Chains A and B, each alone.
Chain A
Amino acid sequence: MSNYYQPEVETASKEEMRKIQTENLIRIVNDCYNKIPFYKKKFDETGIKPADIKSIDDIAKLPFTEKQDLRDNYPYGLFAVDKEDVVRVHASSGTTGKQTVVGYTQNDIDIWSNSTARAIAAAGGTKSDYIHVSYGYGLFTGGLGLHYGAERLGATAIPVSAGNTARQIQILQDFGSNIICCTPSYAMYIGEALKEMGIDPKTLPLRAGIFGAEPWSENMRNEIEKALAIDAYDIYGLSEITGPGVSFECSEKNGLHICEDYFYPEIIDPDTLEPVEDGAYGELVFTCIGKEALPLIRYRTRDISAITREPCGCGRTLVRMFKPKGRTDDMLIIRGVNVFPSQVEHVILSLGMEPNYLILIDRKDNLDVMTVQIEMSEKMFSDSVREIEANESRIKDSLLSTLGVSASVVLVEPHTIPRSEGKAKRVIDNRKM
């Protein structure tokens, strides 16, 4: 028997869902055309008028939106509402040091909360449960996303945030946490810590975990389930769409149910930009039909996935997507944070150094470790160790403030980082997910 938070939507018939989607799409198409100059221009360029959109099936007529569009309109240029109506903003990494800013009206917070409440319910969560939120709280959407979902469900939110593992474990033991929400690699880290402390995970009230913000495999799921003695569920999202909760796993653990009443999914061929048939892999695209502040149309996520409308054993009729298989761009996720190699390049260049660098990513003790190798140059070299160290610190601090995640810096001999004809290989990712 499945836990639904909103059974009427989660088990809606195809016709009911199409009706919701059609109404929502028409609403946002009009909002975008009338309130967002960027979209009016795009529509006019392609000769589309809001009146041309009569049903959800007409969605393929609409233009795409990309991350660059958000950057070009930084910070609030794509908002469809006045600032008095924006009750929250969040931000995530941009590729050149500028963040990608997103905004929410109260309605948008409500639908986001509904989405994560559905996710928590699908993981077996109820009003009587304690939801231990170890995603970061702040501009990052992870912490607040799951937090509001827990409160919406009527459960008890424990806003632990990330870090301080000893305290996490104390809270798991003493506060009665039933469902933990964090990145899969942090879950493994906690698992290892429990083992070291000689605590049997079965003695904890913890039953389940909702893990996301970075890719993880079936093998990883098995490891986590063993290490924490729980059921591990996947959750997916991106801040441009809303944050975590765009889709979530159910007890079948076979694909993630998309909240398609709010975020309409498509899979397109990344080269031809044409939609592909159900089951075929391609680029995941979302249209934020349920949103008001930032109702993005056909936003290209760069994640590679496929969708299926086969019936699910849990009874939900919400369309399922498969775990993203990779990306169409070079974005990396390190300790749950989006990192683009070009950001590293930007930092190096802004410090007046030659951009001969290599990013190495390893997983040590279940945590992602990023090392940036930079070639020593005449300009940077000094006879004084103190000066070289000061330079290294400057680079480290700049990377931390730009990327939002810390990296160690290793200086290497000049001309030891391979050059190449075409696109330089800037990243060596040694992690096996």
Chain B
Amino acid sequence: MSIQQISIFLENKAGRLAEITSILAQNSIDIRALSIADTSDYGILRLIVDDPEKAKKTLKASEITVSITDVLGISVNDSPGAFAKAIGILSDANIGVEYAYAFITPEKGKAYVILRVADNDKASNILKESSIKIINQDEIFI
């Protein structure tokens, strides 16, 4: 049920992001969502792509440090309060969210959010009980 997210190490050097996105483009890898965690010395580029394994192989071939992380994806109504409700459910169940990022979806009226939590199964069960939809890899790329 979880989604494979690509994480890439980015040294804080001009042009790194351009270089990496260019490599992906050259190999026809489609990015659906992206987020960058930044520190003073480096960043972690997180991507949801159409073919995570291909992306990983391609990047590794260019000597870029990559890893794949299983993250949770949820679908909420694209209206005020919907996201707060989902986070509230997790919070009440004492499930911490390490990071999150949201993106446009092909499904009208809905917003997708990627969540990194400690326990994907526990989190998805709690959310499903409250009728929050968990999305899988295929649903992101309709």
Contacts and interface: CB of A to CB of B under 8 A. Distances in A.
A44 interface: no
A413 B67 contact: no
Nearest to A413: B11
B25 to A, nearest CB: 19
B79 interface: no
A389 B9 CA distance: 13
A377 B65 contact: yes
Interface in A376-433: 376-378, 381-385, 388-389, 410-416
Nearest to B40: A410
Contacts of B67: 378, 381-383
Interface stretch (B41-49, B85-93, B101-109, B127-135): B41-49
A356 to B, nearest CB: 12
B39 A383 contact: no
Contact of B65 (A376, A389, A410): A376
Contacts of A414: 63-65
Given A378-B65, A414-B63, A383 B44 contact: yes
B9 A376 contact: yes
Contact of B98 (A378, A384, A413): A384
Interface in A220-268: none
A385 B65 contact: no
A381 B65 contact: yes
A389 B116 contact: no
Nearest to B11: A413
Given A383-B67, A383-B116, A384-B98, A413 B9 contact: yes
A412 B41 CA distance: 9
Nearest to A389: B39
A413 to B, nearest CB: 5
Q: Which of A376, A377, A383, A412 has the most CB of B within 10 A?
A: A383
Nearest to A385: B37
Interface residues of A, number: 17
Given A383-B5, A384-B98, A411 B41 contact: yes
B75 interface: no
A388 B41 CA distance: 11
Given A377-B65, A416-B11, A385 B16 contact: no
Report whether over half of chain B's contact residues are helix, strand or loop; otherwise say mixed: strand
Interface residues on B, range: 20 to 34
A412 B65 contact: no
Interface string A192-225: 0000000000000000000000000000000000
B124 interface: no
Contacts of B41: 410-411
A412 B69 CA distance: 21
A389 B48 CA distance: 24
Interface in A125-167: none
A384 B96 CA distance: 14
A414 B42 CA distance: 13
A415 B13 CA distance: 14
A409 to B, nearest CB: 9
B118 to A, nearest CB: 11
Contacts of B98: 384
A385 B37 CA distance: 8
A383 B69 contact: yes
Nearest to A411: B42
B58 to A, nearest CB: 15
Nearest to A386: B98
Contacts of B69: 383
B44 to A, nearest CB: 6
Contacts of B37: 385
9 contacts: A376-B11, A376-B42, A381-B7, A381-B9, A381-B65, A383-B5, A385-B44, A389-B39, A416-B11
Interface of A: 376-378, 381-385, 388-389, 410-416
Interface of B: 5, 7, 9, 11, 13, 16, 37, 39, 41-42, 44, 46, 63-67, 69, 98, 116
Given A376-B42, A381-B66, A381-B67, 18 more contacts: A376-B9, A376-B11, A376-B65, A381-B9, A381-B65, A382-B67, A383-B5, A383-B7, A383-B44, A383-B116, A385-B44, A388-B42, A389-B39, A410-B41, A411-B42, A412-B11, A413-B11, A414-B63
